[in-house]
Amino acid sequence: MSATTNTLWADALARRFAEVYGTEPDGVWRAPGRVNLIGEHTDYNNGFVLPFAIDRSALVAVRLRTPASEPEAEADVVRLASTFAPDGAGLSRAQFRIGGLEPDGVGGWAAYPAGVVYALARQAGASVPGFDLLLDSTVPVGAGLSSSHAVEVAVAAALNDLLGLGLGAPEMAHLTQYAENEFVGAPTGIMDQSASLMGKEGGALFLDCRSLDSETVPLPLAEHGLQVLVIDTRVVHSHADGGYSARRSACERGAAALGVPSLREVPAGASLDGLDEETRRRVRHVLAENERVLQVVEQLRADNVVGIGNLLTASHASLRDDFEVSCPELDLAVDAALAAGALGARMTGGGFGGSAIALIRQDDEERVRAAVLAAFVEKGFREPALFTVLPADGAGRV
């Protein structure tokens, strides 16, 4: 979205907030979802990733409540409302108390703001008062575009500003990762939060997940007549389920067997013969994926955007065969897009559902769309959602 569109959206959300809570919000904050161009399941292995923030975001309007203005019994209550009502109408509402907040104590989408409050207290020593919040979002839920992290980052950005905490982007990335890991119960890495916080329009974030050193590398899609097509299979995935945790555990076993703290420290050319077959394949994917990230960065620095296509496709094959986190719908989306002329395609996100991306020429968009939709009809799969995305700026006040 353009800055003007974001401003209009924020103004509309502020008005809705006043209708819901009877007073104006203190402000409105935005945090984008992300597409991971390449570098899948490398982040929690201290490896390299290359995501970009997208022009679809979560937006939160927030008002702090102070003890002086509220009854004492309500001072630590957080009241939440979301436009994502289960029945598609009205608002979804929730609330929780800050005092005694513990993991598993808050369910549903409210767990994400609650996790941020929990992390702020434990990681930043912040004393968070009660507050009111209204959420809206254009990031598809369950599509592998990091909708939950967008909510967490937007809440963290809002509370950081309103409480004057002075946290920088790396600190907020760690804080929201803590919220995911310790409160929500999803063993995610640091990539999604970092992309949402540090994304730049027209660029991708080259992130070293061990040091958190980052660099914006150019991703000039439009200048080359290219775009990224997202194919949301509508197969809902969850990082809190067992498949993701099992893959992470396999990587940890592999690192331990190889005598290193993480797979990032495995030397080039190291023998994997001592690992069992499954662990060897998991480790092989991570090592090869790190190398692919470096190769894509090299191509982008050389302004060879077209040249990254084959690396994207190789990433999907590795995720499908070695890491085994794809699914029939993702494989079909990739195969159909490539057959229709995509320069490269891969699943993106944790896997087991969610979305695939295809690097396509702008002139080929309609043909690729039609081919993917026809392939899904032929297989009897649910119709996917298709849309293009552009690199966008990271989180902040609107």
User: Rounded to 5 degrees, what angle do the CA atoms 59, 163, 213 make?
Assistant: 70
Beta carbons of 329 and 233 less than 8 angstroms apart:
yes
Beta carbons of 353 and 233 less than 8 angstroms apart:
yes
- Alpha carbons 248 and 282: distance in angstroms, whole number: 9
- Alpha carbons 233 and 357: distance in angstroms, whole number: 11
Beta carbons of 347 and 326 less than 8 angstroms apart:
yes
End-to-end C-alpha distance for the chain, whole angstroms? 12
Active site residue 55: no
Q: Which residues contact 42 (CB under 8 A, 6 or more apart)?
A: 48, 49, 209, 286, 289, 290, 293
Say which of 43, 132, 136, 192 is annotated catalytic: 192
Q: Tokens 């997940």 — which residue?
A: 209
Q: How many CB atoms lie within 10 A of CB 288?
A: 15
CA dihedral for 341, 343, 344, 348, sign (positive or negative)? negative
- Alpha carbons 75 and 86: distance in angstroms, whole number: 28
- Alpha carbons 323 and 263: distance in angstroms, whole number: 14
Position 198, amino acid = M
Q: Which residues are catalytic?
A: 192
